[in-house]
Chain A
Amino acid sequence: MLIDCDIHVGHETLADLHDYLDGPTRELVSSSGTNGLAMPSYPWNHPAGWVRQDVYDRDTSVGGFPFLSLDTLRERHLDRYEVSMGIVEPDEAAAFAIIPNSQLAARLCSAYNDWLLERWLEEEPRLRGMIVVPAQWPEAAAREIRRIGSRDEFAGIFLPGAARIPYGNPVYDPIWHAADELALPVAVHTHFESVGIAGPVTAAGMPDYYGEYHTLCGSGMYGHFVSILCHGVFERFPSTRLAMVEGGLVPFVGFLWRLDTNWKSCRGEMPWCKRRPSDYVWDHVRFATQPLESPDDPDQLVRAIEFLRPAETLMYASDFPHWDFDEPEQTLRQLPAEWRESVRWRNAQTFFRLPVAAPA
């Protein structure tokens, strides 16, 4: 049994969403700019390509994120690694949440979610989707969650690491309320930091190289993580489940230790955070494994993340088909044997409430 909580699929160009767009948005998509509506994108390029080279055809690809077919996903990943269930996170659709025009973002999100449902989720029962929402317009995001969130094909709500302000801020309460109401988990996943209306990836300023960015890109997620804890989201919306995806593991340990200490001195300004912040984590937060930090000595990793209670909080993630894909057995081999069954599938099954049964 294997559950992968981070598989990426996406449209190759916005034209792929044509049949799912309303009339005015379709007009904007085809008429804007010079060659149609363009999404903001990274100012950095991976020097050797964003995705695994063995899963797309460079000669026929036209988009910034090369298109992955369902057949390729099945052949190269679901079948090959016997993935029981996979959680589908967006690729370029993650950018809808950081474009300035929030009304346009809301319409693009709806089109993408309908496209994802019809082209992928209804076609492959091993897949469950994460709902893409216009996070820059929380009321519209809540409407989108309620529109489709009760469908079994969707397993949760996607929020990118890139944002204008951190997700614990009360301006986002409509999103947390809708998630709580539908008992849907929220995944915060690194994506598009420093792009569009999002804040810079670090307060130091803009990195020069993609390698720098990719080392630092979890900074947005750490900001959201601390914000969500300090604003008492888990007190105010007690059934909320939160996954931190592709932000690494070790940094969360340091931030929690530091926040637990600061909370003792500063809790007067954040009285909604009633318990020690890390206490909320064990009940509400799960962490995706990829990209698993890989010191030369794997024991150093184990010691570094023990505080996260990994047997209860870690969920396997591959990030297929991206260039930093983590192969399942290689990931699990780096963890102690007594953690592996939980990381392989049990924690994700419970967190996403997936319809898979324990092996006989």
Chain B
Amino acid sequence: MRSTSQREARLPIDDAPQEGTVHRLEIDGHRIGLVRVDGSLHALADRCPHRGAPICSGRITTPIEVRDGELGLGERASILRCPWHKWEFEIATGRCVVDPRLRVRKYAVRLEGDEIVVTLEHP
């Protein structure tokens, strides 16, 4: 990470996570995981809204779905699975797959030149 201020973190674009991996960072005590899904970057709070687990140490997976009565795979590497109780969350929305009332908090991510900027603002 190149720099961290009170409200934001900057890192070189070359340090951006590959699909299926998490880049961890911290802003003002907030632990955050930066994840790439289908080319887009998403910043998620490292706290599961179910029981407070460090969700960014969970596994990024591809959801198993039923479509037209047949088993299939959803969007590749689009789910973050909590390492404790295995609840699944959509990385793009933070929404819990099994309980839509729960969401992992998301933070704003933007590109500035050759840097990725993550802030504590909501996206």
A: residues with CB less than 8 A from B are 46-49, 52-54, 323-327, 330
B17 interfacial by beta-carbon distance below 8 Å? no
Asked if residues A49 and B86 are in contact (CB atoms below 8 Å), the reply is yes
Nearest A residue (CB) for B86: A48
When A and B form their complex, which 8 residue pairs have the shortest distance between CB atoms, in order from nearest?
A: A53-B83, A48-B86, A54-B83, A54-B57, A52-B84, A330-B51, A325-B84, A327-B51
Task: Enumerate 17 A-B pairs (CB-CB under 8 Å) in ascending A order.
Answer: A48-B86, A52-B84, A53-B57, A53-B58, A53-B59, A53-B81, A53-B83, A54-B53, A54-B54, A54-B58, A54-B83, A323-B84, A323-B85, A324-B85, A326-B51, A330-B51, A330-B52
Please report the C-alpha to C-alpha distance between residue A326 and residue B51 in the assembled complex, in whole angstroms: 8
**Closest chain B residue to A296 by CB distance?**
B101
**What distance in Å separates the Cβ of A89 from its nearest Cβ neighbour in chain B?**
19
Which range contains the number of B residues in contact with the other chain?
Answer: 10 to 19
The 8 A CB mask of B40-81 against A (1 = contact, 0 = none) is 000000000001111001110000000000000000000001
Q: Which residues of A contact B51 (CB under 8 A)?
A: 326-327, 330
CB distance from B21 to the nearest CB of A (A): 15
Q: Is the interface of A mostly helix, strand, loop or mixed?
A: loop
Query: Is the pair B52, A327 in contact by a Cβ cutoff of 8 Å?
Result: yes
Q: How far is the CA of A344 from the CA of B88 in the complex (A)?
A: 30
Distance, CA A324 to CA B82, complexed state (A): 11
A324 CA to B52 CA, complexed, in Å: 13
- Give the residue name and chain of the A residue nearest to B87 (CB): A48
Name the one of B52, B57, B59, B86 contacting A323, with C-beta atoms under 8 angstroms: B86
Q: Residue of B at shortest CB range from A324?
A: B85
Q: Which residues of A contact B57 (CB under 8 A)?
A: 53-54
**In the complex, A324 Cα to B53 Cα: how many Å?**
12
Given A47-B86, A53-B57, A326-B51, 10 more A-B residue pairs with CB atoms under 8 Å apart are A49-B86, A52-B83, A53-B81, A53-B83, A53-B84, A54-B58, A323-B84, A323-B85, A325-B85, A330-B52
A52 neighbours in B (Cβ, 8 Å): 83-84
Contacts of A53 in B (CB 8 A): 57-59, 81, 83-84
A49 to chain B: closest residue by CB: B86
